[in-house]
Structure formats: structure tokens, C-alpha cells
Amino acid sequence: MEKGLISNIQGYSIKDGPGIRTTVFCVSCNLRCKWCSNPELMLPGKKTMKFKIGDKEKIQNVGYEIDSKTLAEKLARDKIFYEETGGGVTFSGGEAALQGKFVAETARLLSEMGISSALDTAGNVSREVFEEISDAFEYILYDIKTFDEELHKKCTGVSNRRILENLKFLAAKNKKIIIRLVIVPHYNDELNDVRKRMEFVKNLGDCVERVDVLPYHTLGKGKYKSLGMEYPIKSGEEISDEYWREFKKIAANLNLEIHVAGEK
């Protein structure tokens, strides 16, 4: 059995793919997104977070090893919820594809039990990784941070060439893809870049089942402090209603259906 390093297992998730899902958060990521809400999962290995509640200091350990068989058996306990809602398990992070053999083996074990799996990825791994593991998952949740390469480097620390090429590869395999767009004020919200992202997605074809738009939030801010890290985003400005109207107009002109988180 393959072993992996995960931080936690979140049940009853409704934002990480179809239906009611359980999300497995894997440790380690090879992007450094300025807006990351899970900084404890960026760096490899186990770590400690320190919180202060009142006058007492609390310690939370992040990261523990588990093998794929044990994890699959644990996840299968909620099979009834998956069956009733068309849900399943989503492997997220961090970057779950960095532990490709582990998550794929777990997904295959779940499939043998009749449970669907999804991989939530930013796509910054080798083509060989996706060739080896992508068939283990029913859905691929794919994050597109920016379209412009230099802007991508500024926001994440790396180029997006491999990321976009990997997405085209998965589309050519006719994988079920759910695109995820996080929009962060003053970082990746420039409408011309948004339009290019949407045009790229449109050209992928019918394999894209939906586009989920995730407005930026500051829920991870306290985690940075607990890890002794500086929170990288200074502005607390929210995206205006006018911006969203223009954003949606771009999608409508491309006949691209989008789902903005928090909207009914």
C-alpha cells in the first residue's frame, strides 16, 4: 500500500465537486499563491501551528501519515451520503498530485467500493504524473490562476505553461473537468486576463462540466499568524458589484456558464 501525508479529512463538503463529498487535504504544494488560504499545507512535512485562545496557548499539529487502504476504508464509511447525492471523495491540498501514487491508489480502492473520486489540482506536475494517475478519478477539479505567464509568476512564483498544457492533455482524454477560478482583487482580477482564461476554457470543449468562480476570502489569515508567517495580501478591498457584472458579461458573450460561490 502507498503511504501519504495528509492534514485532515473534512466531511460534508459541498464546494469540492458534485454532491456531498469528503475532502482529503494533502500536505505540500509547489505553488506559492499570494492568496493561499491553507499556508500550513504549502511546505512539505509535518509542522506545528500555535494559537492563542484567551490567555492560553494552543498547539495544533499538522500532518500525519496514512496508507491508502486505511484511508479508503475510513472514507467509505460515508458511502450512503455519496450514493444519495451523487457525491464522493475529493483529494485536495496543498497539491494532491504531488502524492500522485498515493491518491490514485486510494481512488482506485474507492472505485472498487462504488465510490467516485475527484482530484483537485493546480496542474503544476509533469505530464507523466497525469498519464499515470488521471484515469483513477471520475472528475478533475482544475484551478486556473491566470492566463498571462508573467502575471502567473508574480502571483504564484512559477510559470503556467505546463499547467495550461496539462489541462489541454486532460481535455483531449475527455476527462470530466470542473474549472475553478479564484478571483483576488489587485492580483488576478484584470478583466482582459479573465477573458483569456474563459476563452481558453471554452476551447476545451464539452469535457468541461462547469466553471466555479470563487471570490477571494481572508479565512486563512489567522493561519499565517499561527505559523509565524506574514500574511502576503495587504488590501482588504472586496470586488465590486460592477466588476461582477462585467465578469459575467464576458462569460455570457462566450456562452460559458459560470457558478459564482455564494450566489443562489
CA distance 183 to 213: 7
Concatenating the DSSP letter of every residue in 70-107 gives HHHHHHGGGHHHHHHHT-EEEEESS-GGGGHHHHHHHH
Distance CA 240, CA 195 (A): 18
Q: Which grid cell sits at 165?
A: 498544457
Tens digit of each residue's pLDDT, the chain (264 residues): 899 999 999 999 988 999 999 999 999 999 999 888 888 888 889 988 777 777 778 888 889 999 999 999 999 999 999 999 999 999 999 999 999 999 999 999 999 999 999 999 999 999 999 999 999 999 999 999 999 999 999 999 999 999 999 999 999 999 999 999 999 988 999 999 999 999 999 999 999 999 999 877 666 677 777 777 777 776 666 788 899 999 999 999 999 989 987 665
